[in-house]
Amino acid sequence: MDRKILELEQGWEVMEKGIKKLERILEGLPEPPFKSEDYMMLYAIIWNMCTQKPPHDYSQQLYDKYKQVFVDYLNEKVLPSLREKHDEFLLRELVNRWSNHKEMVKWLTRFFHYLDRYFIPRTKLPSLQEVGYTCFRELVYQEISGKAKDAVIASIHVEREGGKIDSALLKKVLDVYVEIGMGSMNYYENDFETPMLENTATYYSEKASSWILEDSCSEYMLKVEERLKKETDMVDHYLHSNTRQKLLQQVQNELLLVYGKQLLENENSGCRALLKDNKVNDLSRIYRLYSKVPEGLELISSIFKQHITDEGTALIQQAEHAALSTEFFIEKLIELHNNFMAYVTDPFQSDSIFHKALKEAFEVFLKKGVSGSSSAELLTTFCDNILEKGENGRTQQFLNKLIAMHIRTKTSG
């Protein structure tokens, strides 16, 4: 016996009642929740209308009506509620509406599950979830995302200036940018991340141009370190993890690279002043910051090398003018080398680029002569004298230092 045909209009009239019930629940209106029998009834209606023999197989018509449900609801309820709000109120409403929309997609895909299981695989049409998300993206997101982006960036500015913000809210807003892509990060990156990074560059460019006029190198670097930590915390609290490296690079570029040479070469407070004053902590901070910047250490090692060269040249000139004894001159050379090796080891963490700078600096000034003799000749004579005096603890220790220094400063090849 053939089953009774369920016409589209008749079946859809019942479906509309269930859909309106769902909409009232989402709007927060008094409405009892769905019971299991409610769900089974609506599912069965869709199943019946999709499994009837042509021309009463209404699968395509129901697929179209499924989409129209979202179009109508978004235009009639969601967009008007968003258009009247601004700033944080807009963000809260967007988060609420996106959460409700996902709930609506979840329930309707259950009601229309037969389409997902049989009709859509056969026709290669987008899935029910994809249809639901696409409707929100095309109707709501495209109109609201720009205003939401501006509101998020404004909140970031408030936080950077020391104000309090609702980071949990921002996290939920930015989740919308991620989830709307359905597996793609393009919407988050293009509609939020790129303009946010541009804003970051402008913000820190202004900060850097102000700080460099009022702060010493050490004070400036302390501010940079603090800011980088805050930016990292910002990623941890609400930005997507993919943004971390891009954001930090933007901040480092504006604060460390644009004014790096001017800062580090500052006569009164730059690297050379810090070396002279033995400011190990400040030099350590500079190393930590610039080690994360492409080619950042080259500038510091160049200053370090030039400083050693100048100090060594001054020592040779002193030896020349004061007619220092060979032993005293060599002791001063060793002392000079040990002092700078301490910088290489501690604040510069034994980085090879600073070992190289120390070696090359000594090579430069050791080529200079003292009282008609080259530094190399003085070293050779001194070593011979030590060996002739015989071994004792001090002599052996002294000789070991000389050998170590000679090995480090010997020209390759």
Structure confidence at residue 137 as a pLDDT band (50, 70, 90): very high
Q: Taking a C-beta distance cutoff of 8 angstroms, is the pair 259, 208 a contact?
A: yes
Structure confidence at residue 392 as a pLDDT band (50, 70, 90): low
Mean pLDDT within 376-389? 64
Q: Taking a C-beta distance cutoff of 8 angstroms, is the pair 160, 207 a contact?
A: no
Percent of the chain topping pLDDT 70:
87
Q: How far apart are CA 74 and CA 394, in angstroms?
A: 88
Dihedral class, residue 387 (left if φ above 0, else alpha if ψ from -120 to 50, else beta): alpha
Q: How far apart are CA 194 and CA 242, in angstroms?
A: 12
Q: How far apart are CA 227 and CA 190, in angstroms?
A: 25
Lowest pLDDT segment from 74-83, 140-149, 399-408: 399-408
Q: How far apart are CA 188 and CA 241, in angstroms?
A: 12
Q: How far apart are CA 361 and CA 113, in angstroms?
A: 76
Strand partners, 370: 373
Question: What residues contact residue 375 under an 8 Å CB cut-off, 6+ apart?
Answer: 316, 333, 365, 366, 367, 368, 369
Question: What residues contact residue 344 under an 8 Å CB cut-off, 6+ apart?
Answer: 350, 351, 354, 355, 358
Question: CB atoms < 10 A from the CB of 335, how many?
Answer: 12
Q: How far apart are CA 213 and CA 216, in angstroms?
A: 8
pLDDT in tens, 357-370: 999 998 888 777 66
Q: How far apart are CA 17 and CA 331, in angstroms?
A: 97
Output the pLDDT for position 383.
66
Q: Does 399 have pLDDT greater than 60?
A: no
Q: Does 274 have pLDDT greater than 70?
A: yes
Residue (of 172, 66, 177, 56) closest to 111 by Cα position: 66
Sketch out the chain's domains with CATH numbers.
8-142 (1.20.1310.10), 185-294 (1.20.1310.10), 296-413 (1.20.1310)
Tokens of 292: 């994360």
Q: How far apart are CA 99 and CA 91, in angstroms?
A: 12
Integer CA distances (angstroms), 172 to 63, 83, 124, 211, in order: 30, 19, 33, 34
For the entire predicted model, the pTM comes to 0.84
Output the pLDDT for position 413.
34
Residue (of 250, 248, 217, 253) closest to 235 by Cα position: 248
Can you give the three-state secondary structure of 266-323, one letter per residue? CCCCCHHHHHHCCCHHHHHHHHHHHCCCCCHHHHHHHHHHHHHHHHHHHHHHHHHHHC
Tokens of 29: 């209106």
pLDDT in tens, 202-236: 999 999 999 999 999 999 999 999 999 999 999 99
Q: Taking a C-beta distance cutoff of 8 angstroms, is the pair 136, 98 a contact?
A: yes
Structure confidence at residue 26 as a pLDDT band (50, 70, 90): very high
369 φ, ψ to 5°?
-100, 160
Residue (of 229, 388, 401, 276) closest to 332 by Cα position: 401
pLDDT in tens, 278-321: 999 999 999 999 999 888 899 999 999 999 999 988 888 887 77
Q: Which helix (H) or strand (E) holds 370?
A: strand 369-370
pLDDT in tens, 162-180: 999 999 999 999 999 999 9
